[in-house]
Structure 1
Amino acid sequence: MNVLLLLACGLLISLTYALGKLATQAGVEGIELLFWQISGSVLIVLPSAWWAGQLPKLRKDHVRYYTLAGLMGFTGPYLITYWVLNYIPSGLVGVVASLSPLLTFAIVLVLFRGKANFTSGLGLVLGFAGVLAILLPKNSLPSPEMFIWVLLACASPLLLAIGNVYRTRAWPANGKPLQMAAGLLTSQWALLLPVYAVTQPVGLPTQALFTVMSIAVVSGFFYLISFELQRRTTPVFVGQLGYVIALCSLLIGILFFNETPSLWVWAGAALIAVGVYWVSNSKSVGGTA
């Protein structure tokens, strides 16, 4: 059952990237797409939190946590992702996104003097070798102009990694996962609402309506399933989500967008996957991020 939940989470995230690609191709801007995505997530997660008796608390430390964790772990990464999806394949976005566990581990090592054993250290090296395999070879990317956009896409997992460390270090006393999720999503919805109202047109393009609503539903169910996964398993197990996302994103890109990843991209994805696996299963400090 736990493996199925892990696969479901990876597939839902990959679907979000694919649907985001369709929406941006239909002319939906990142802020608009993110607002409707988070609206759907709130409509699914907030009632679930109420049903479980875990409504968000409005204490100062909780509100600060919701806001900062949401900016680093949701709003920032998704805005970057939806921006770069205009310029690079969705499968490649998914591969880059899978770097989050490796970057989390690297931050812990640098800032908090974590200790790396041989396996986790090698995993970190392999992960970044995978990125170089995608970025550096001349024929790796479909177009040389994509280099800068792939590099920019790396800012998304970096923000996620910073958010991972912050969530662990700043988790409010007695905070419950579903409560924190509902508070995080609601805070980001409240922040995005005035921005959306001022900057975006009244209605979505007709051709993108179904796609955007699908993203909202997929995102909401991802949060519910991911918290059940966290409840049933360990951070080590959840950390393996990265290479599920990479593989699912590449396959969805091939099947639905006729994307043709080069051998360098496949090799890079494989190196990243192995790196994530070794770091996630390491017993060193930071290996459970």
Structure 2
Amino acid sequence: MPTQEMFRQQANRTRLIAFTTLLACGALLALSTNMAKVSNTLGFAQFPYLTWSLAGATLMLGLLSLAKRQPLPLKRPALVYYFVAAFLSVAGSNFIFFSAVSKVGVSFVALTLSLPPLLTYLGALMLGMESFNRWRAAGVAFALAGAGVLVMAKWSSATDDRLWILLTLLGPVLLAAGNLYRSSHWPKGAKAESLAPGMLMAATLILALAGSAGPQGIMLTDLDGAKTGLLVLQALVFATQFKLLFILQKAGGPVFLSLIGAVSAAFGIPVSVALLGEPLLPAIIPAAIFMLVAIVCMLHGQKQVQAV
């Protein structure tokens, strides 16, 4: 018979898994965002870079699933799940972010990734997936305030990048929709390890079809050691990031999952400034403080919800 102590220990383990995977996913997303800018400096077009790095990640996770004898769910609901989740969470959002880093900078892209908590929480409340919690609501409010400070500062200093500012803001909308969709349409009985390669495979197909119809195409040209190494590293980052993403989704839920963006900003902005020579907007510091407070509030709210 399960005791109260056993339930408390299980809750503590779940919180630990959620917190550690949140940090890991955020760090990997930050690395990915900075690598997108490096890919631009090496002359990569975004469609080929994203398509082939996702193809590599799909291969890695597919082989891992085979080794663990975890077959890919292939029934119709699972296939629909793969393609919808792939467009919202991978193909559409990543193409926007990867294209935007050369226009508005890594720092701006990283901090706009703090917007999904607001959109995800509001959507989860409307869909009845989450109950109202004042600490979570406060965390969302602080995250929104931080993003608002950054966007206003970037808008006032921008000249020809304002269109890209608006386009970049579409990325968090797609991510929030993806968070909600993956939670509400999780295929019955499916494990996280089996869903990740299916979603990445669908994202690869979406990008390959879209890229083939456009002027860039998806063929890789003028590959050298640096470009090949970057592609392999990006594939490894994608594979690890999306495998952990499904684990985090199970442990923390869609709203906690959406804090990945805020954690990513904390890792990604110092890297972009120190290693890529990006200028540091004065608004970055107050915005980052808002994000830190948001994470603390959301963690406290998560603890309250799991204690009920």
- Of residues 221, 224, 232 in structure 2, which corresponds to 1:204? 221
Matched residue, 1:220:
239
> What's the TM-score once normalised by structure 2's chain length?
0.80
Within a 5 Å distance, the mapping from 1:144-223 to structure 2 comes to 144-197=159-212, 199=214, 200=217, 202-206=219-223, 208-223=227-242
Q: 1:30 to 1:238 in 2, by over 3 A?
A: same
- Of residues 52, 56, 74 in structure 2, which corresponds to 1:58? 74
Describe the SS at the equivalent of 1:116: coil
Tell me if the contact between 2:155 and 2:162 (Cα under 8 Å) persists in the aligned partners.
no
Deviation >6 Å, runs of 4+: 284-287
**2:304 is aligned with 1:264:** no
Structure 1 residue 58 displacement after superposition: 1.5
Distance 1:113 1:33 in 2: 36
**Aligned residue pairs, count:** 285
Tell me if the contact between 1:120 and 1:284 (Cα under 8 Å) persists in the aligned partners.
no
- Of residues 268, 290, 300 in structure 2, which corresponds to 1:249? 268
Distance 1:240 1:210 in 2: 30
Structure 1 stretch displaced more, 32-41 or 197-206: 197-206
Distance 1:107 1:280 in 2: 19
One-letter amino acid matched to 2:232: M
Describe the SS at the equivalent of 1:67: helix
Unaligned runs of 5+ in 1: none
Tell me if the contact between 1:109 and 1:286 (Cα under 8 Å) persists in the aligned partners.
no
One-letter amino acid matched to 2:147: V
Within a 5 Å distance, the mapping from 1:11-90 to structure 2 comes to 11-90=27-106
One-letter amino acid matched to 2:223: T
Rg larger for: 2
Distance 2:62 2:220 in 1: 25
> What's the TM-score once normalised by structure 1's chain length?
0.85
Tell me if the contact between 1:117 and 1:284 (Cα under 8 Å) persists in the aligned partners.
no
Distance 1:241 1:192 in 2: 23
- Among all aligned residue pairs of Structure 1 and Structure 2, give the percentage whose two residues are the same amino acid: 22
Structure 1 stretch displaced more, 196-205 or 91-100: 196-205
Q: Deviations over 1:50-102 (max 9, x none)?
A: 22222212211111111111111111101111221120111221111132233
Instruction: Report the RMSD for the aligned CA atoms in angstroms.
Output: 3.0
Tell me if the contact between 1:95 and 1:249 (Cα under 8 Å) persists in the aligned partners.
no
Unaligned runs of 5+ in 2: 1-15
Tell me if the contact between 1:114 and 1:286 (Cα under 8 Å) persists in the aligned partners.
no
Describe the SS at the equivalent of 2:187: coil
Structure 1 residue 49 displacement after superposition: 1.3
